[in-house]
Structure 1
Amino acid sequence: MKLYYVPASCSLATHIVLRELGMEFDLERYNPSEGQTETGSAYAGINAKARVPALEFANGEVLTEGSALVQYLVSQTPEHELALPIELVARARVQEGLSFVASDFHKSFSPFFSADTDDAAKERAQALIVKHLEYLETVFGDGREYFIDNKLSVADIYLFVVLRWVEASGLELNAWKKVFAFRERMNIRPHVQSALEAEGLLEAA
C-alpha cells in the first residue's frame, strides 16, 4: 500500500493507524501548491478530489476519505485493540465519534488554512472551535482517558490529529485541561511519535 499525505494534515490519522496496526506501507508526499507528489506524479490522476489522504493498493485501486480509510484498515485486523467493536451500539458510538471529528470539529478549522479567509470568518470559526472544545472538556470530565467508551479507537487518533491544529486558530489548548491532557497522552504513544518523525513534525509536536 502507498499513503499519499500532506504533513500535519488529516492524513496523519491514517498514517498513525497504519503504524499502530503494524502494516507495511510506503509514503508519498503531495504538494498541493504544485499539484504533484514528490515523485512528480500529477495528484489529480490519483485522486480527482485533490485532497489527502489517499491510499493506493498494489492493484492500482485508490481509496480516499480519512474516516473510510481508518475503518477499512482496522477491519483488516479484527484482533487488534483498534478494531471496531462487534456489538452494534458500541460500533456505532465509535462511528459517531469519527463523524463528529471529521465533519464538525475538522471542518471548523478550514478558515485558518485558507489564505482568502477574512478576519470575521476566522472569528466565527474560532467561536465554533471553542464550542467544540467545551463539549470535549465535558466528555473527558468524567475521568476517561479515551474519547469513546474509555477505550482506544480510531476516533481518538483522528481527534488527536485535529487537536494539533488548535494553536493555529489562535487558541491555547491548555485552557481546556482535560482535552490538553488527552492530546499529551496520545502524543507520547510510540507509533504516534514514529509517524510524526516520518513527517518531519517532531519539533512541532
Structure 2
Amino acid sequence: MKLYFKPGACSLAPHIVLCWMEQPFELEPANTQDPEFVKINYMSAVPVLMTDDMGALYQTSAILRYLARLPAGEHLGPINDPVLQYQCDYWLSFFNTDVYRVMVPWFAQHKLTTDTTDAAHDAIKAAVPERIAPWLQRMDNHLASRTWYMDEHKSIVDACAFVFELWATQILPDGLSNYPHVARHFQDLNEDAGVRRALSAEGLNL
C-alpha cells in the first residue's frame, strides 16, 4: 500500500493506523496542486491510499474503516459488534464532518470566502476558537469516563481524534488546558510508539 499525505493533515490518521498495524507501506508526500496528483484524486485532497485490490481509496473515514477490516487492523476496529460499529461510525462522522467543518477555516480561509484581503481572512480565523468549543466539550465529556473513544479499546477513532486534537493545540491560545480529558488523551497518544513514528516521518515535532 502507498499513502499520499501532507504533514499534519487528515492523512495523519491513516498514517498512524498503518504504523499500528505494523505492515509494510509506502509514504508519498502529496503536492495536491500537481496535475499528476489530480489524476490520482480529482478533488486535490489527501489522504489517498493506493491498494493492490481496490486501487485508489479516498476519504479519511472510509480509508480508516477499510484498514480496520484487514486482518492486521481488525484489533483497531469494531469487528462485528453492532454497538461498537455504531460508536465507530458515529465518532468518525463526528470528527470528519462536524469538527472538520468548524476547524478547517482556521487553515483555509479561502474555502469560505472569495475576499482575499487580510481583514476578511483574519475575521474568519477569529471566529474559529469560539465555534469549536462545543465540539471539544463534547469530546471532553465523553473521555471523562473512559480511556479511549470506543469503550476501552484503542481504535481507528483515536487515530482520527488525535489529528483534530493536534489542530486544536494550534488554534486555541491556551491549547487543550480547558479540556483536561481531551488533553490527557492527546498526551497518551503523543507518547504512543506508533504515533511517534508517524509524526517523525511527517517531520512533526510535538
Shared fold per TM-score greater than 0.5: yes
* Cα contact 2:109–2:125 (8 A) shared by 1: no
Residue of structure 2 in register with 1:153 after alignment: 155
Match of 1:197 among 155, 177, 200: 200
> 1:145 is matched by which residue type in structure 2?
T
Higher share of residues assigned helix: 2
Q: How much does 1:79 deviate? A: 7.2
Are residues 1:85 and 2:87 paired?
no
Name stretches of at least 5 consecutive residues in structure 2 with no aligned partner.
111-119
5 Å-filtered alignment, 1:84-163, equals: 84-116=78-110, 118-142=121-145, 144-163=146-165
Q: Which has the higher contact order (CA 8 A, sep 6+)?
A: 2
Distance 1:128 1:57 in 2: 37
Distance 1:79 1:17 in 2: 8
- 1:39-83 deviation per Cα after TM superposition (whole angstroms, max 9, x unaligned): xx7110011111000011246821100100011011012774203
Residue of structure 1 in register with 2:113 after alignment: none
Residue of structure 2 in register with 1:51 after alignment: 45
* Cα contact 1:112–1:122 (8 A) shared by 2: yes
Matched residues, percent identical?
A: 29
Q: CA RMSD in A?
A: 1.9
* Cα contact 1:21–1:80 (8 A) shared by 2: no
Distance 1:15 1:60 in 2: 18
Which runs of at least 4 in structure 1 moved beyond 2 Å after TM superposition? 57-60, 78-81, 115-125
* Cα contact 1:17–1:154 (8 A) shared by 2: yes
Are the structure 2 counterparts of residues 147 and 79 from structure 1 closer, same or farther at C-alpha, using a change threshold of 3 Å?
closer
* Cα contact 2:105–2:125 (8 A) shared by 1: yes
Match of 1:61 among 55, 59, 82: 55
> 2:102 is matched by which residue type in structure 1?
S
Are residues 1:19 and 2:22 paired?
no
How many positions carry a matched residue from both structures? 196
Name stretches of at least 5 consecutive residues in structure 1 with no aligned partner.
none
Distance 2:13 2:55 in 1: 20
